C-alpha cells in the first residue's frame, strides 16, 4: 500500500520504498542485537528463562511497532497474524492488539489530487457527475487502498474503495522482504511457521489487486444472501479499474465487540461469523478467505455485515467431499479408517509410517468444538491447544512434522484456523458443532 502525504507524490515511490525496506530490515538486526545482549546476561548469571522472556517481549514490541507504522504487505501480514493473537501469551498479545488498532485507525490518507486521479482513471473525467455528495477525507483505510463515504447520483449512500497507486509492487516487495526474515518470528512464538502464510499471501495478492474479480465475488455473495435474516452483503453499485463502489452499511465493528461487547453480542457475532464462513461454499461456491475482525460489523437489526471480498476461495462444488466423512470417523474414534482417509487425501505422505491411534489422538482435540453441543471458545483453550502442537518436545508436534497439507486445503486450513482464533478473541459460547454439521455434508452421517 502506498501512503502519500501532501508533500510526496506518486513519482517519489522509489524513495518511499527504500525507507520502507530500511524499516523492515531493522527487524532482524534488532533481534540479533537483543540476542547478543541475552547471551551476555546469561553469562552474567541471569536465569535463561527470564532472559528468554525478555527477548521475546522486546522482539514482539519492535515487531508490532514496525508493522504498525507501515502499511502494504506489512499491514496485510499483520492482519493475517492478528487472527492468531489469541494463541499468544497475554503479555505479547496486548501490545499486538494495540498496534493493530493504531494501524487501522491512523493510516495516512492519499492527498485529494491523488484521489481525484484514481477516480478519473476508473470512472472517467466526469466522475463528479456520478455523485451528489463527495468527501475527499477517507472514512477508512486498508492495506492496499482507502474507502470514502459518498452519495451516489440516485441518492444511495455508498462506499467508494480506491486502490493506492503502486499498491501491487509495494505489497509484493514487503512480503518478499518479510519472507527473508521469517525465522525471527520463532522468537515470539516458536510454534508459528510464517513461511507458508507469507507464501500464500503472495499468491493471493494478484487476486486482491483485481477489483474486477472482487466485484464478481461480492455480486455472487450478494445474490446468494439477498434479504437474508442473518447477513448483509453490500451490493455492488459500480466498478472500473481501481475503483469499486458498493452500498454503505453501518454497524458496530467486530473489533469493538471483542474489546468491550456484551456476552450476548459476542455470542451473536460469533455464531453468525461461523455460519457465514461455513455456509458460503454450499450457498454460492465461495469461501470468504479473509476472516480478520476488520471485515465484520454488527448492524443495529442484529444482522452481521460482511465486507471486503478481495480474498475468496473458489469452491464451485462446495467443500471437498472427504472432509465430512473424515470428521465423522474421527468423532467416532475409528482410527484406522481416519488414517486411510488422510492418506487418500494426501495429508499423510506416501511412505511415511505413522500410528493410527497417534493420528487420532493428534486430531481429536482439534475437533473438540465440533463434538460438543455447546462450546465456549476461550483464549486459554486456544493457548493450550497451540502449545500442544507447537512444543517441539511434544509427541503431537513431532507427529505433525511428518504430515502434509495438500495445496487444495491450504486456504481452507488458514480460514479454519483464523476463524477459531477470532471466536476465541470473542470468547463466544455457541452451538458450533451443530453449525458445522449443518453445512459440511457427510459429517452428521
In a domain, residue 150? The reply is: no
Percent of the chain with pLDDT over 90: 49
* pLDDT value of position 177: 60
Query: Has residue 201 been placed in a domain?
Result: yes
**Cα–Cα distances in angstroms (integers) from residue 65 to residues 17, 97, 153, 248, in the given order:** 18, 11, 42, 32
Residues 25-41: what's their mean pLDDT?
39
The answer to whether residues 60 and 195 belong to one domain is: yes
Residue 176 has pLDDT above 60, yes or no: yes
Residue 371 domain boundaries: 323-439
pLDDT at residue 62 in the model: 55
The span from the CA of 440 to the CA of 445, in Å, is 11
**Residue 234: partners with Cβ closer than 8 Å, 6 or more residues away:** 159, 218, 222, 246, 247, 248, 249, 305, 307
Beta carbons of 10 and 114 less than 8 angstroms apart: yes
Last residue in a domain, options 205, 233, 250: 205
User: Which of 159-173, 248-262, 287-301 shows the lowest per-residue confidence on average (mean pLDDT)?
Assistant: 159-173
Domain boundary among 180, 205, 230: 205
Question: Does residue 158 sit within a domain?
Answer: no
The answer to whether residues 329 and 191 belong to one domain is no
User: Do residues 176 and 33 share a domain?
Assistant: yes
What number is the average pLDDT over the span 301-320? 94
Q: First vs last Cα of the chain: how many Å apart?
A: 47
Instruction: Please give the tally of structural domains in the chain.
Output: 2
Does 388 reside within a domain? yes
Query: pTM of the prediction?
Result: 0.77
Q: How do residues 228-270 score in pLDDT, each as one tens digit?
A: 999 999 999 999 999 999 999 999 999 999 999 999 999 999 9
Instruction: Calculate the average pLDDT of the chain.
Output: 78
Rounded mean pLDDT of 382-400? 82
290 is catalytic: yes
Q: Is residue 68 part of a domain?
A: yes
The pLDDT of 44-73, averaged and rounded, is 48
Q: Is residue 404 part of a domain?
A: yes
Q: Is residue 67 part of a domain?
A: yes
The residue among 157, 188, 205 that closes a domain is 205
Q: Say which of 193, 250, 290, 391 is annotated catalytic.
A: 290
138: Cβ–Cβ under 8 A, 6 or more apart, which residues? 109, 110, 146, 147, 148
The verdict on residue 238 lying in a domain is no
Q: Which three cell numbers stand for residue 115?
A: 484521489
Which grid cell sits at 155? 441518492
Among the residues of 285-367, which ranges form H helices? 323-331, 335-345, 356-363
- Which 8-state DSSP code applies to residue 313? E
Q: Do residues 339 and 359 lie in contact, with contact meaning Cβ atoms separated by under 8 Å?
A: yes
Residue 78 pLDDT grade (very low, low, confident, very high; cuts 50, 70, 90): low
- 173/163 Cα distance (integer angstroms): 17
Amino acid at each position: 500500500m502506498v501512503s502519500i502525504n501532501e508533500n510526496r507524490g506518486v513519482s517519489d515511490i522509489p524513495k518511499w520504498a527504500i525507507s520502507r525496506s530500511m524499516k523492515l530490515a531493522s527487524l532482524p538486526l534488532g533481534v540479533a542485537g537483543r540476542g547478543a545482549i541475552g547471551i551476555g546476561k546469561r553469562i552474567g548469571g541471569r536465569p535463561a528463562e527470564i532472559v528468554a522472556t525478555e527477548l521475546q517481549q522486546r522482539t514482539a514490541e519492535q515487531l508490532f511497532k514496525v508493522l504498525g507504522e507501515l502499511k502494504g504487505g506489512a499491514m496485510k501480514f499483520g492482519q493475517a497474524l492478528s487472527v492468531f493473537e489469541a494463541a499468544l501469551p497475554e503479555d505479547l498479545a496486548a501490545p499486538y492488539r494495540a498496534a493493530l488498532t493504531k494501524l487501522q485507525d491512523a493510516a495516512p490518507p492519499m492527498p485529494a489530487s491523488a484521489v481525484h486521479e484514481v477516480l478519473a482513471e476508473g470512472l472517467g473525467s466526469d466522475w463528479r457527475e456520478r455523485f451528489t455528495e463527495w468527501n475527499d477525507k477517507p472514512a477508512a483505510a486498508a492495506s492496499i487502498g482507502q474507502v470514502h463515504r459518498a452519495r451516489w447520483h440516485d441518492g444511495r449512500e455508498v462506499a467508494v474503495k480506491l486502490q493506492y497507486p503502486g499498491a501491487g509492487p509495494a505489497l509484493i516487495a514487503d512480503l518478499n522482504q518479510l519472507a527473508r526474515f521469517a525465522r525471527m518470528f520463532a522468537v515470539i512464538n516458536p510454534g508459528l511457521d510464517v513461511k507458508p502464510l507469507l507464501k500464500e499471501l503472495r499468491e493471493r495478492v494478484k487476486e486482491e489487486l483485481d477489483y474486477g474479480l472482487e466485484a464478481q465475488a461480492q455480486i455472487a455473495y450478494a445474490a446468494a444472501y439477498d434479504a437474508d435474516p442473518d447477513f448483509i452483503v453490500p451490493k455492488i453499485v459500480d466498478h472500473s479499474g481501481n475503483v469499486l463502489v458498493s452500498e454503505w452499511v453501518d454497524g458496530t465493528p467486530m473489533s469493538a465487540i471483542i474489546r468491550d461487547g456484551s456476552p450476548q453480542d459476542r455470542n451473536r457475532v460469533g455464531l453468525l461469523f461461523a455460519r457465514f464462513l461455513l455456509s458460503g461454499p454450499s450457498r454460492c461456491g465461495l469461501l470468504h478467505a479473509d476472516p480478520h475482525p476488520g471485515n465484520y460489523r454488527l448492524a443495529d437489526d442484529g444482522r452481521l455485515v460482511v465486507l471486503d471480498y478481495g480474498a475468496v476461495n473458489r469452491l464451485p462444488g462446495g467443500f471437498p467431499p472427504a472432509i465430512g466423512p473424515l470428521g465423522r470417523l474421527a468423532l467416532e474414534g475409528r482410527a484406522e479408517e481416519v488414517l486411510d482417509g488422510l492418506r487418500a487425501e494426501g495429508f499423510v505422505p506416501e511412505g511415511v509410517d505413522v500410528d493410527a491411534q497417534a493420528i487420532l489422538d493428534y486430531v481429536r482435540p482439534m475437533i473438540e468444538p465440533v463434538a460438543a453441543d455447546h462450546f465456549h471458545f476461550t483464549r486459554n483453550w486456544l493457548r493450550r491447544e497451540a502449545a500442544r502442537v507447537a512444543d517441539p518436545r511434544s509427541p503431537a508436534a513431532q507427529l505433525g512434522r511428518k504430515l502434509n497439507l495438500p495445496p487444495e486445503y491450504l486456504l481452507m486450513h488458514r480460514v479454519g484456523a483464523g476463524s477459531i482464533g477470532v471466536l476465541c478473541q470473542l470468547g463466544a459460547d455457541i452451538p458450533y458443532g451443530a453449525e458445522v454439521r449443518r453445512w459440511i455434508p457427510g459429517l452428521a452421517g
